[in-house]
Amino acid sequence: MEGYNATGALKTGKLTVNRPIGAVAIGVSDVDALTNETLTYYIESPNGSERGATKINLLSVVALSVHGLGGGFVMDGLTYFVIPVAIGGALDLSENEEFVLEMEGLKAAERYAVEFLDGNETNGSLQIFDQNVFIAEKTTMTLNTEGFRFMAIRGVSNLSEINCQLVKSGGNRKYTKVGIRAMESQGNDFTHEQQLTEGTIDGIYAKVGFTQDIAILNVANYREVEFLKAAGNAVQFEMIR
């Protein structure tokens, strides 16, 4: 079910649906142009709202959505990413509830699209995203990562190293920013499909990585992660449960 497809806007406005959805497909005309766009979604009911994502960076959301398996597909001039909004099935919405989604910080020159995708079962729970900022003035920061699967690190080139505490043994693992990139690439495929143009021939597709200063870290086995950097540059984190 199409919810939005337009260019020239700075935000989508509130898009609502009352269906057993399990995911949304978000299309963008230029993946490399993604910077500060944000995604918010929640379930609205007469008794209040249940938040899944509140102004989460869209670049991080689409990068996390590939889950190390490769993702994104090209259609009608857009690269689409399938974003899970339910865990274990579809959202079981009553007739008085609505799923609400909004994107802000859009670029007027780019085109964005949203497609609501029904899930297979109606017993899922809302997918939760979280975010944190390692401010420019600080040189160390520790995040509790228990219960999360993947972390997007925006500004990874600003880090000097990370120290990861394992959940089971309590042992410590240390990585430089090169090590972070190595872990991302080893056995994972954080890429998306992109249509290439060669001369006048269209329809050539390739799997490409994200060009922005972002890396995806699998944190499923870590209790907490300590980050170290020099003062002067901020680093942003988004995590998915």
Tokens encoding 156: 């990874």
Whether residues 162 and 235 share a domain: the answer is yes
Whether residues 137 and 112 share a domain: the answer is no
| Final residue in a domain of this structure, among 100, 126, 152 | 126
Give, in order, the Cα–Cα distances in Å from 143 to each of 148, 172, 188, 236: 11, 14, 23, 12
Direct distance between the N- and C-terminal alpha carbons of the chain, in angstroms, rounded to an integer: 26
Residue carrying structure tokens 């509130």: 14
**Residue 90 sits in which domain range?**
2-126
Other Cβ atoms closer than 10 A to 163? 16
Whether residues 102 and 208 share a domain: the answer is no
Whether residues 146 and 194 share a domain: the answer is yes
**146 phi, psi to nearest 5 deg:** -60, 135
Whether residues 49 and 121 share a domain: the answer is yes
Whether residues 82 and 196 share a domain: the answer is no
Whether residues 153 and 104 share a domain: the answer is no
Whether residues 121 and 43 share a domain: the answer is yes
Whether residues 174 and 60 share a domain: the answer is no
pLDDT in tens, the chain (241 residues): 788 999 999 999 999 999 999 999 999 999 999 999 999 999 999 988 898 999 999 999 999 888 755 577 888 889 999 998 998 889 989 999 999 999 999 999 999 999 999 998 778 899 999 999 999 999 999 999 999 989 999 999 999 999 999 998 989 999 998 888 888 776 555 666 666 554 444 555 666 778 899 988 889 899 999 999 999 999 999 999 8
- Dump pLDDT digits (tens) for 186-196: 655 566 666 65
What CA–CA distance (Å, rounded) separates 111 from 184?
A: 29
Q: Where are the alpha helices (DSSP H) in the chain?
A: 58-65, 177-185
Domain count, the chain: 2
Whether residues 107 and 139 share a domain: the answer is no
- Dump pLDDT digits (tens) for 51-95: 899 999 999 999 988 875 557 788 888 999 999 899 888 998 999
Whether residues 104 and 172 share a domain: the answer is no
